[in-house]
Amino acid sequence: MNQQMTSDMRQLLRRLPKAELHIHLEGAIRPGTAMELAAKNGVSLPVCDRVEDLYSYDNLMDFLAVYGAISDSIVTVDDFRRITYEMLQSAAESGCRYMEFFVSPHAHKGVPFARQFEGIRAGMAEAETDFLITSRIIPGMNRELGPEAGEDYLDEVLANRGEDVIGLGLDYNEAPFPPEPFVGVFARARREGLHLTAHAGESGPAAYIRGSLDALKVERIDHGYNIVDDPDLMVRCRDEGLVFTCCPSTTKYTTPWRDLTAPDHPIRRMKEAGLKVTINSDDPPMFATDLGWEFEIAHGDLGFSLADLKAAILTSLDAAWLDDTVKREWSADWAREIDEAFAAMPQP
Ligand SMILES: [Zn+2]
C-alpha cells in the first residue's frame, strides 16, 4: 500500500500525538510474549514454524479461536503486568499519549478478576512513568455468553472497580447476538456511572448499531461499518455527532471489504458522509499493525487528508472519557503540536 508515501511523511504521521479508543489487551500481545507465556503456563498454542505465523486467520471466528488460546496463556499477576506494559510501550512508539483499552477478564478462565486487575494496574503505572502514556480500562462483555452471565460479569467489574475503570463494552461475535437482550445490564452499568460502548456493525447488520444506540444507550460505536447499508441511520448519527472507533487493518480480515483503497470502503464512505470517524488499531500485533501504521493507511489508502487526520485525532480526544478540563487543555496543546508538525513538512 501507499508506496509513494515518503519516509518523512511516515515519521510525521507516527509522531503525531494520538488517543487510542479501540484496542484489546488480549489482542495486543506480542507473538513472542504469547509463546513464552504459553510455554511457562503449560498452554498449547496452534503449531506454527515461525513465531509470526501464530497470528494468521481469515475470518472473525478463526481469529477468536487464537484469541481464546492466547487468553488461556495469561495467568499470573506478572503476566498481566507484562502484557499491559508492552501494549502501552508499543502504542507510545506510535505517538499514543492516551489510551482506553478493552480487557476480557472472562476469557482467562479461573483467574480471579482481582488478580488480573492487579497486574493490569501495575503495567499501566509503570508505562505511565516510563512512556508518559495515560490509560484507562473498559471491560468488554462477551455477548456470546448472554445477558445473565453479563449481570454476573458486571458484579465482578463493579467489585474490582477503581477510578481507572471508566466504561463497559460489548464485544465478541456479533451475529446472532443482537444488543437488545443486554438492555438491563447496560442500564445498571449506566446507573453505576460507567460509560458505555458496543462493537456493532462490523460482522453484524446496521440494525445492531441502531439497537446499541436505542436499547443500550451507548455513547460510542466500535467499528460500525455496516451503517453504510442504512442511509437514514447515517443521517441520524451524523446529526447526533456520534463517534465511531474504526480500525482500518481489521476490516481486511473480519469484513467483506478487503481492499482498503476501494472507493466504497466503509471507513472512507463514513468520513465522506460527515460521520465522526476515529482511527484505532484494535488488535495490533494480531493483524500485523500498530497505531502509526493505521494512520499511514488512513492517509495513503482511505483518502484522509492531513486535515482529516487532525480532525480524527481531536475527535478521539473529545470522545475520550476523560475530565473535560484535561481534554480542553490537551486538545489545545495537541492541535498546536499537529499544526507545527504539518507546517514543518518540506513542501513537494
Ligand atoms: Zn474490537
How far, in Å, from the CA of 43 to the mean position of ligand 1? 24
Catalytic site positions: 202
Helix (H) or strand (E) holding 85: helix 77-92
For 186, the grid coordinates are 447496560
How far, in Å, from the CA of 329 to the mean position of ligand 1? 28
How far, in Å, from the CA of 78 to the mean position of ligand 1? 24
For 52, the grid coordinates are 509470526
Residue 17, C-beta contacts closer than 8 angstroms, at least 6 positions apart: 95, 97, 313, 333, 334, 337, 338
How far, in Å, from the CA of 222 to the mean position of ligand 1? 7
Global pTM value: 0.95
Q: What is the pLDDT along the chain (348 residues), one digit of tens a residue?
A: 555 788 999 999 999 999 999 999 999 999 899 989 999 998 887 766 667 777 877 777 777 778 888 899 999 999 999 999 999 999 999 999 999 999 999 989 889 999 999 999 999 999 999 999 999 999 999 999 999 999 999 999 999 999 999 999 999 999 999 999 999 999 999 999 999 999 999 999 999 999 999 999 999 999 999 999 999 999 999 999 999 999 999 999 888 999 999 999 999 999 999 999 999 999 999 888 999 999 999 999 999 999 999 999 999 999 999 999 999 999 999 999 999 999 998 776
For 181, the grid coordinates are 437482550
For 231, the grid coordinates are 442511509
How far, rounded to the nearest angstrom, does the alpha carbon of residue 101 sit from its chain's CA centroid?
6
DSSP for 190-214? Answer: HHTT-EEEEEESSSS-HHHHHHHHH
- Among all chains, which residue has been given the C-alpha cell 509503570? 126
List domains and CATH numbers for the chain: 7-343 (3.20.20.140)
